[in-house]
């Protein structure tokens, strides 16, 4: 019996493979079928690269060394580096994958910043302090070590539009004001543990300068840990109180100004998986859009979170 594939034109077979290869395990299996199939499935395999360990980091570099220089630059679009080191190898992967548009990092930012080449601390311009070799538009700082000592802007690309960071007990309001330097930031997500960071009012005070950015469209709070019901409810209240123009007292108190861009949800169990699935923003964007459609909010954006 002959395979039905034998009667199909090769373009059609290729599109079947390309579609099947969007499912990663299938892509890996397909790439083993034949050299011909491998050649056509490979680009899809390299679109999203996850390096969870030192072993995978080293193996990936070895694979790249057998390919033309432009291969990684053109193919790798989504990259996650959760491996903690060696820092040199992380730098090398980043400089080879210069075309990355979405980057998730889990390595130690202080170690990276310490080791990164070309440190020019004299220039006060934020963009000139940026230390990664890539300019993604989406960046996620995940893993315990990325934000442990607070927010370090020197590994956040000035080009980001979508950013996810963590806040910890070390995060200062001062450090968060640096987010204002990100000219094109529209989507900001923050992961934190409510029990470690303090109450809702504290969070709101930390975020007020950030909310003052007129261009911010979505602020997603992903709350981790257990027993968060009350905290989530309090955040909820930030968008349910509709302020009328007569109610000026609440405008003077930023903590009471409702803001429909704030969406709270439970932190995903595995934030990296959410990044891989590409659905970090779906729920929050939908919620904000829904609120805007309902139009129940009378506070003009310009009034919100004016920096004091």
Ligand X SMILES: *[C@@H]1O[C@H](CO)[C@@H](O)[C@H](O)[C@H]1NC(C)=O
Using CA atoms, how far residue 8 sits from 13, 19, 35, 128, 194, in Å, is 7, 16, 19, 54, 57
CA atoms within 13 A on the CB side of 88: 1
Residue 50 or 239 having the CB closest to ligand X: 239
Token match 């291969």: residue? 71
Q: How far is the CB of 161 from ligand X (least distance, A)?
A: 8
Cα separation of 75 and 47, whole Å?
Answer: 6
Residue 108 or 287 having the CB closest to ligand X: 287
Q: How far is the CB of 282 from ligand X (least distance, A)?
A: 13
Which one among 264, 267, 299, 304 touches ligand X, defined by CB under 6 A?
Answer: 264
Q: Which residue is nearest to ligand X (CB)?
A: 159
Q: How far is the CB of 285 from ligand X (least distance, A)?
A: 12
Residue 189 or 263 having the CB closest to ligand X: 263
Whether omega before 86 lies within 30 degrees of 0, making that bond cis, reads yes
Q: How far is the CB of 278 from ligand X (least distance, A)?
A: 21
Residue 287 interacts with ligand X (CB under 6 A)?
A: yes
Return the H-helix or E-strand segment holding 229: helix 229-240
Counting residues that bind ligand X (by CB under 6 A) gives 11
Residue 263 interacts with ligand X (CB under 6 A)?
A: yes
Helix (H, G, I), strand (E, B) or coil at 219: strand
Helix (H, G, I), strand (E, B) or coil at 50: strand
Residue 291 interacts with ligand X (CB under 6 A)?
A: yes
Binding region for ligand X (CB under 6 A) out of 113-121, 145-153, 234-242, 270-278: 234-242
Return the H-helix or E-strand segment holding 89: helix 87-96
The residues, any chain, with a CB within 8 Å of residue 256's CB and separated by 6 or more, are 241, 243, 250
Residue 150 interacts with ligand X (CB under 6 A)?
A: no
Binding mask 152-191 for ligand X (x = CB under 6 A): ------xx-----------------------xx-------
Binding region for ligand X (CB under 6 A) out of 79-87, 146-154, 191-199, 235-243: 235-243
Q: Which of 18, 68, 7 is nearest to 43 (CA)?
A: 18
Binding mask 110-149 for ligand X (x = CB under 6 A): ----------------------------------------
Residue 24 interacts with ligand X (CB under 6 A)?
A: no
- Residue 237 — left, alpha, or beta (φ > 0 → left; ψ -120 to 50 → alpha)? alpha
Helix (H, G, I), strand (E, B) or coil at 44: helix
Residue 69 or 236 having the CB closest to ligand X: 236
Q: Which of 98, 6, 93 is nearest to 50 (CA)?
A: 93
Q: How far is the CB of 291 from ligand X (least distance, A)?
A: 5
Q: How far is the CB of 50 from ligand X (least distance, A)?
A: 25
Pairing mode of beta strands 102-105, 162-166: unpaired
Helix (H, G, I), strand (E, B) or coil at 206: helix
Q: How far is the CB of 288 from ligand X (least distance, A)?
A: 9
Binding site for ligand X (CB under 6 A): 158-159, 183-184, 236, 239-240, 263-264, 287, 291
């Amino acid at each position: 019996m002959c395979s039905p594939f034998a009667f199909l034109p090769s373009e059609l077979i290729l599109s079947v493979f390309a579609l099947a290869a969007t499912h990663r395990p299938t892509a890996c299996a397909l790439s083993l079928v034949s050299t011909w199939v491998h050649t056509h499935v490979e680009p899809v395999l390299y679109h999203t690269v996850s390096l969870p360990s030192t072993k995978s980091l080293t193996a990936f570099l070895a694979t790249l060394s057998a390919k033309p220089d432009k291969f990684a630059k053109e193919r790798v679009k989504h990259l996650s580096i959760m491996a903690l080191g060696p820092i040199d190898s992380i730098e090398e992967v980043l400089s080879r994958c210069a075309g990355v548009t979405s980057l998730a990092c889990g390595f130690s930012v202080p170690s990276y910043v310490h080791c990164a080449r070309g440190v020019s601390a004299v220039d006060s311009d934020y963009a000139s302090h940026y230390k990664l070799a890539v300019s993604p538009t989406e960046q996620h700082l995940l893993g315990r070590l990325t934000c442990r000592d607070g927010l370090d802007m020197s590994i956040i690309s000035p080009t980001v539009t979508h950013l996810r960071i963590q806040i910890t007990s070390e995060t200062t309001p001062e450090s968060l004001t640096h987010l204002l330097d990100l000219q094109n930031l529209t989507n900001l997500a923050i992961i934190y543990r409510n029990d470690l960071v303090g109450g809702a009012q504290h969070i709101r005070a930390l975020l007020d300068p950030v909310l003052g950015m007129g261009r911010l469209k979505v602020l997603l709070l992903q709350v981790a840990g257990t027993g968060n019901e009350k905290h989530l409810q309090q955040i909820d209240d930030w968008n349910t109180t509709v302020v009328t123009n007569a109610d000026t007292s609440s405008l003077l108190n930023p903590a009471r100004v409702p803001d429909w861009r704030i969406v709270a949800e439970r932190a995903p169990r595995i934030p990296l998986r959410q990044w891989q699935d590409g659905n970090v923003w779906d729920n929050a964007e939908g919620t904000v859009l829904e609120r805007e459609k309902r139009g129940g909010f009378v506070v003009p954006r310009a009034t919100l979170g004016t920096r004091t």
